[in-house]
Amino acid sequence: MEQIVQADVAAFGTGRAEMANAMIEQSGLRARPDWIRGRAAGINPSGRYEPVSRHVFDDGWESLEELPPFRTEVQVERPRTIITRNTSPDISFDRSINPYRGCEHGCVYCFARPTHAFMGLSPGVDFEAKLFAKPDAARLLDKELSKDGYTPRTIAIGTNTDPYQPIEKQYRIMREILEVLEARGHPVGIVTKSALVARDIDILARMAERGLAKVALSITTLDRKLARTMEPRAATPTKRLKTVRQLSDAGIPTSVMVAPIIPGLNDQEIERILDSSLAAGAREAGYVVLRLPLEVAPIFKDWLLRHYPDRYRHVMSLIRSMRDGKDYDAEWGKRMKGAGPYAWQIGRRFEIAAKKLGLNTRRTPLRTDQFIAGKQSEQLMLL
């Protein structure tokens, strides 16, 4: 991966995008574009914990080789617990659920990509195509909620990988989780890029009426072409706005996340996204600046070189200006918003636009006083 960093900087120092692309090809990390069409990542480097690294190279016979169709693979994962805890001081929740590992949406900037290295897989193409489903999630959740001493607080879902990615149509894990949460009277906050969340409006509307649910749609851009290359299997911007309207009309508190904001690429859309979101029914909004931890940096750089080579130097310069000269700074308080003049400007633009539109004037708190403790079977025996 370091080869990519050195190659693109050296090449663009001379202003030659072609040279940078050629050097990345020579690094042996780039996957065949004719085979992985429809995926955002163009490279598939070995996970950082692997003892060996895989390198793809052209042996002169590639044109004669017929590869099998490239398809998404799903494996079943059987975890012992389903609620993940955190103590991060810069986020608003202390527990979350991830029904899936990996994400078929394939957002090239996804900060969850490095987690695939824990499975011995690549954070590149593997993250988008080799997925793990947790069909026991609802049962495990009910078991954990029934433990003595459990204290209810909002569970966040969708903060890592999207719970409504395409394979949810088949596995329906998220719907089963919502059924448990509704029965328990437990609050939930959902973040998604998918229009599939509208499938569960019946449950979410009932929960929202009791003050137990809210949903945030992530809208990165209103440019359909940019969205298609950057988030190839996520819902189009138009569908996401339509979903905001559906949720809002059903009485579900709905907000929009302008995330991630990529300087020099989509930051000029902040005001338009907020205006369109308000028109669709959103009443709250937030934002996150692009994060490039670990393997995400070379994957994003490779994508930027392939699709927007003329903007490469400008975009990366602005990113580094917000990260103390680095591709990423993981310091709490800075990792979400960045630092420096350009990060300050983004923050002020967002705040001014939100205030002008009347967004965030009132936050919708979720209730915890309806939680039903104990085992469900015990509750039923009393009836």
DSSP secondary structure string, 271-323?
Answer: HHHHHHHHHHT--EEEEEE----TTHHHHHHHHHHHH-GGGHHHHHHHHHHTT
CB 44 within 8 A of CB 125: yes
CB atoms within 10 A of CB 310: 8
Q: What is the pLDDT of residue 66?
A: 61
Q: Each residue's pLDDT tens digit in the chain (383 positions)?
A: 444 444 454 444 444 444 444 444 434 455 555 556 667 787 777 777 777 766 665 555 555 456 566 789 999 999 999 999 999 998 989 999 999 999 999 999 999 999 999 999 999 999 999 999 999 999 999 999 999 999 999 999 999 999 999 999 999 999 999 999 999 999 999 999 999 999 999 999 999 999 999 999 999 999 999 999 999 999 999 999 999 999 999 999 999 999 999 999 999 999 999 999 999 999 999 999 999 999 999 999 999 999 999 999 999 999 999 999 999 999 998 999 999 999 999 999 999 999 999 999 988 899 999 999 987 644 444 43
d(CA 318, CA 347): 15
Give me the domains of the chain, ranges plus CATH numbers.
2-51+67-362 (3.80.30.30)
- CA 246, 249, 251, 256 dihedral sign is positive
Q: What is the pLDDT of residue 199?
A: 98
Q: Residue 75: in which H helix or E strand, if any?
A: strand 73-76
Q: What is the pLDDT of residue 15?
A: 45
Comparing C-alpha atoms, which of 191, 171, 175, 194 is closest to residue 183? 175
User: Which 3 state secondary structure label does DSSP give 115?
Assistant: helix
User: Which 3 state secondary structure label does DSSP give 74?
Assistant: strand
Q: What is the pLDDT of residue 289?
A: 98
Q: What is the pLDDT of residue 166?
A: 96
CA 343 to chain centre: 21
